[in-house]
Amino acid sequence: MSSKNKAGGPSPDKSKGDKTATDTQAVLKTNDIVILQAMATDDLVAALPFNPIKALDQGHDNAISPPPGKTVKPDSSELTASTRTEEAGTAKTGRAAPAGTNATVASLERVRVDAGGEPLTTNQGVRIADNQNSLKVGLRGPTLLEDFILREKITHFDHERIPERIVHARGSGAHGYFEAYDSLSKYSRAAPFARKGKITPVFVRFSTVAGERGSKDTARDIRGFAVKFYTDEGNWDLVGNNMPVFFIQDAMKFPDLVHAVKPEPHHGMPQAASAHDTFWDFASLMPESTHTLMWLMSDRAIPRSYRMMQGFGVHTFRLVNESGESVFCKFHWKPKQGTHSLVWDEAVKISGADPDFHRRDLWEAIESGEFPEWELGLQIFTEEQAEGFSFDVLDSTKLIPEELVPMTPVGRMVLNRNPDNFFAETEQVAFCTAHVIPGIDFSNDPLLAGRIHSYVDTQITRLGGANFHEIPINSPLATVQNNQRDGIHRQGVNRG
């Protein structure tokens, strides 16, 4: 390395080994920071010339409990900055991010907006004098293309809608919390079950399956019951239905099922209803769907209220404890308000008077302080027990009778806050069966395997790209630190 730097000053002296913190801070105040960063990079590379734990990639024990990676710390965090000017902040840039922080993961308080008493502005923060008339040549002349206020307002309006979900498009949601009854550490190390009384924030979305976003609430249909747990070890999405079984055994058939249940392609009818030729043709050729059909056509199929609706994880999952030991489980939500349904005549009359019946009922109950509550119960069983059953526990068209595996209550969920904005929260929330946390794992259910892929894929299309996890309602409370970069609508500004 040359004895002179580009600014003409002497290079930092490395003859005495690593610099002290005092020396480093002194150099940081000079133009020598550029050379010091280069030298520090050399030091970091030299300190870790190879991966000393690479051999530990192999072996059963290492796979069960991977060792932490080897790291080397620089003399100063300033040496790993993206730019030497990061402290030369403005009102926009602010200061450098504190070590280990990610401002994109926090409560929704960081993004709430209240414009009360404030002047009207454009999206660029420019005050608007007239929001009712376009800019013209004279009183009656043509509208000018330079009217950027008109253009912004119209253009944003033209792009307000996003693709609706292919299934579960019609939904309603609410915030709340889950409270554990006791530690479940014998079976699972999952954060929500870590200790008695532990509180975990949740967001829940209830939905119909077949209907479009503007369809009626009281259709004869399966209901979605999706819960996002914002745990201190990441987000866990328990994405289930109000019936314990499903139409098919393998995800390969899912597109065929949905195409059959959707409106007839030539005239777009019937809406939010499955009782038509293409669906019955599918069902007649798939006898595995009979069990779910019995539930769907029964008197319990149409809930009286989302508050009075059961929820089921449908699939068999695994619970894994700290020792890596696993058991199978099924998830069940039982409403404390009781399970109540509408008969067909009631549902038809209600849909004509109020197609938003379920949405209105949930909103008004929470607004009036009648917070709905559910108890979470688990059916826990071993692989040895599963081998002894007369049915396959990996078949989502089957349920496990409680006479064989009793329910174990593990906690309660309370919904106590309505969303501030339907689109920002209920519409943009993204549930994915792939989102699990330590202590919760998948089984080999082939329908579950397909959902693990499909749900992530559909959110990428619906929400505009791979960064949908940074949308506030989807971002976890647990810190997020990784090497993923870029993509449309990226929010995080990564340092270094």
Average pLDDT over residues 340-346: 96
Note whether 108-160 and 171-470 share their fold: no
Which CATH number describes the domain made up of 171-470?
Answer: 2.40.180.10
Residue 31 has a pLDDT of: 59
Residue 106 has a pLDDT of: 85
Residue 16 has a pLDDT of: 45
Residue 66 has a pLDDT of: 86
Q: Which residues contact 92 (CB under 8 A, 6 or more apart)?
A: none
Which CATH number describes the domain made up of 108-160?
Answer: 4.10.91.20
Cβ-in-10-Å burial (0-12, 13-18, 19+) of 494 comes to middle
Mind listing the pLDDT tens digit for each residue in 175-221? 999 999 999 999 999 999 999 999 999 999 999 999 999 999 999 99
- Please state which of the ranges 65-79, 155-169, 215-229, 415-429 shows the lowest mean pLDDT: 65-79
Question: Residue 110 is encoded by which pair of tokens?
Answer: 């960081």
Mind listing the pLDDT tens digit for each residue in 25-64? 555 555 566 777 777 788 888 888 888 888 888 888 888 7
Average pLDDT over residues 299-324: 96
Higher pLDDT, 2 or 257: 257
Predicted confidence band of residue 494 (pLDDT cuts 50, 70, 90)? confident
Higher pLDDT, 274 or 379: 379
Residue 35 has a pLDDT of: 78
Average pLDDT over residues 442-461: 94
Residue 23 has a pLDDT of: 60
Domain ranges of the chain: 1-96, 108-160, 171-470
Which one is catalytic: 5, 235, 241, 467?
241
**Rounded Cα distance, 133 and 79, in Å:** 54
Question: Taking the CA of residue 454 as centre, how many other CA atoms within 13 Å lie in the half-sphere pointing to its CB?
Answer: 16
* 60 is an active site residue: no
Mind listing the pLDDT tens digit for each residue in 125-154? 999 999 999 999 998 999 999 999 999 999
Mind listing the pLDDT tens digit for each residue in 272-283? 888 789 999 999
Average pLDDT over residues 444-464: 94
Residue 161 has a pLDDT of: 94
Mind listing the pLDDT tens digit for each residue in 403-445? 999 999 999 999 999 999 999 999 999 999 999 999 999 999 9
Average pLDDT over residues 445-449: 97
Share of the chain above pLDDT 70, in %: 93
Which one is catalytic: 168, 315, 358, 435?
168
* 241 is an active site residue: yes
